[in-house]
Structure 1
Amino acid sequence: MKFTIDILGVFLKIVIRINKSQFAPLVVSTLFILLTSLLAHCARRLVQNLVKEPFVRLLFEEAIAAAELCGCCFELIVVADNFGVATYAVFLFALTVWWSLNWGDATACPYTHLEDIIEGKGDIRQALLKVWAELAGGMLVFKYVQLYWALEISDTHKDKAIEDCTADLQVPVMYGAIVEGVATCMCRIASRALGDINPRFATAIDSFIGTSLVVAVLATSLKAGCHGHTLGEHALVYWVGACAGSIVSVYIYKLPAVQQYVKGPVEVNGDSIWAGKED
């Protein structure tokens, strides 16, 4: 606890000093994202040391991962709104690499648990508990974000803690659900292929693919209840659409043609471009 308080104290001193220097907004957002990731990292290590039962530990890790994901992405909304999609993409790419290296077995993605059920790697009870843990982590972290925004250290956070949000979905709901489903399907197929092929820099490639898809559709599940669509429409796009795309990806990836393409040798001038493939 003292360690966390010390971190918060140092953080506040840094952002206050930076704010006085008049180049605060982007740096303040960056420092908040770094603080959120650091606190999640400390919480993850604490759980790993204290919780011995593997599945219970995984539930805590899923909650922490979801809290870290949502906490960072709430601030990324500020980054995107004030500094553009390109800056948002750079931040998201770096975070995706960090998450892939630190989350372990946690995913913070409900549809991956659905894939596990289909492939016989998990049961419905475990999947529901993981989803519940992720929802709990994602919902609880908003209070933490609101507390930070209420400090209004930067002009980009002015009235942010109390303002009404606007939905990102600016297209017909069915079209949005289809786009979300296709994007999720493509992302999951690419991730599975990278896992099987295991090329050099697989983590960076996977992160780039995921970032590109998110930026392409500007989809976020952080705006349930915002003005612009109902909760039912939100669920149709970001839950039904994403889950449907994830399920379809399982069956597409198992197609013989896809398996042959993925696992067959890929050569350029006689040299394999994948690590682990013999020339």
Structure 2
Amino acid sequence: MLSLAVSLGFILLTCVLAQAGRHLAYKLVRQPFVRTLFLEGIAAAELCGVCFELIIVADNYGVSTYAVLLFLLTIWWSAQWGDASACPYTHLEDVVEGRQDLRRAVLKIWAELTGGVLVFRYVQLLWSLELTDNHEGRAFEDCSADLQVPVLYGIIVEGVATCLCRLTSRAICDLEPKFGAAIDSFVGTSLVVAAFNYSGGYFNPVLATSLKYGCRGHSALEHIVVYWVGAIAGSVASVFLYRLPAVQALVRRKLH
């Protein structure tokens, strides 16, 4: 139980530091778009930093414990991140729907990647303390890829699950149900668990790259195709699927 308490402490510390970073960004950065870039980078760093520790939790306490923590954390992030998403395809969806130009979307993705990649140094520092057996040797060990199926299946898993996640989020945004954040988190967490032993269930290119790019088990191209192309294709597909008359009719029926 001490090891789990340490992992929970690391997760809490990461969330507290990210919250402090957001406070400073709002206080010190006056230009709105520049502030947005900082907030995206902070959100991505928080997400990736926490998920590094969730890997430790999953390895030692099982996927069920991992899922409970992810469910609670997703609700927390939905309440704290504001307009930040820490996820590239949300910005590309805005481009497809005409709410944002491509240049701004690319800059936001760059900010997210920067935050996600840089946070590993912070994680290494925590792990190198080796406060428990679970962290011994983890700071500098070679990592292994989570893709356990052929690349084509991995693309399908990441793409379809991402599409379902985004359709759910869109419906919740329109319907505004009570406990909407919890419902969204439950669906997302359930899909992550379902895909855990196939692709790792990342459904977020920045998260997948920050945690697993360069790990042994697949090539760089395979990583990009599965976790970037697959997820983005699923996300963009959700934009058009949600516009289908049958889907819109179902949403309107629920609204009334």
TM over 0.5: yes
CA contact (8 A) 1:117 1:123 kept: yes
Aligned to 2:87: 109
Aligned structure 1 segments of 4 or more residues deviating by more than 3 angstroms? none
Q: Secondary structure at the match of 2:212?
A: coil
Query: Partner residue of 1:24?
Result: 2
1:149 maps to which residue?
127
Greater RCO, CA 8 A, separation 6+: 2
> Which of 217, 220, 240 does residue 228 from structure 1 map onto?
217
Structure 1 gap segments, 5+ residues each: 1-22, 266-276
Opposite residue 59 of structure 2, the aligned amino acid is D
Aligned Cα root-mean-square deviation (Å): 0.9
Report the equivalent of 1:79: 57
Check conservation: 1:89, 1:215, Cα contact below 8 A: yes
1:247 correspondence with 2:236: yes
Matches of 1:90 and 1:224, distance apart in 2: 26
Letter of the aligned partner of 2:122 in structure 1?
A: Y
Alignment match, 2:205? none
Equivalent-residue separation in structure 2 for 1:92 and 1:224 (angstroms): 21
Distance 1:225 1:212 in 2: 27
Task: Summarize deviations over 1:24-43 as a string: whole Å, max 9, x none.
Answer: 11000000000000000001
Counterparts of 1:187 and 1:263, CA distance in 2: 20
Partners of 1:104 and 1:46 in 2: CA distance: 15
Larger radius of gyration: 1
Match of 2:40 among 62, 65, 76: 62
The count of aligned residue pairs is 245
3-state SS, counterpart of residue 87 of structure 1: helix
Q: Does 1:185 align with 2:163?
A: yes
Structure 1 residue corresponding to 2:139, chosen from 156, 161, 178: 161
Shift of 1:97: 0.4
Q: Quick one: percent identity of the two aligned structures?
A: 64
CA–CA distance in structure 1, aligned partners of residues 217 and 183 of structure 2? 34
Using the TM superposition, name which of 211-220 and 39-48 deviates more.
Answer: 211-220
Deviates more, 1:219-228 or 1:169-178: 219-228
User: Quick check: 27-36 or 221-230, which moved more?
Assistant: 221-230
1:118 matched to 2:96: yes
Local SS of the residue matching 1:264:
helix
Please state how far the C-alpha of 1:117 moved relative to its aligned partner. 0.2
TM-score by length of 1: 0.87
For structure 2, the residue ranges without an aligned partner over 5 or more in a row are 203-207
Residue 33 of structure 1 pairs with residue 22 of structure 2: no
Q: Give, in angstroms, the shift of residue 81 of structure 1.
A: 0.4
Verify the 8 A CA contact 1:196 1:263 in the aligned structure 2: no
The residue type equivalent to 1:65 in the other structure is A
Q: What is the CA–CA distance in structure 1 between the aligned matches of 2:33 and 2:189, rounded to whole Å?
A: 29
Cα displacement (A) at 1:53: 1.2
Q: Give the 3-state SS of the residue equivalent to 2:248 in structure 1.
A: helix
Tell me the TM-score normalized by structure 2. Answer: 0.94
Deviation at 1:215, TM superposition (A): 1.4
CA apart distance, 1:243:
0.2
2:76 to 98, 106, 119: 98
Q: Which amino acid aligns with 2:144?
A: T
Quick one: which of 101, 108, 111 aligns to 1:130? 108
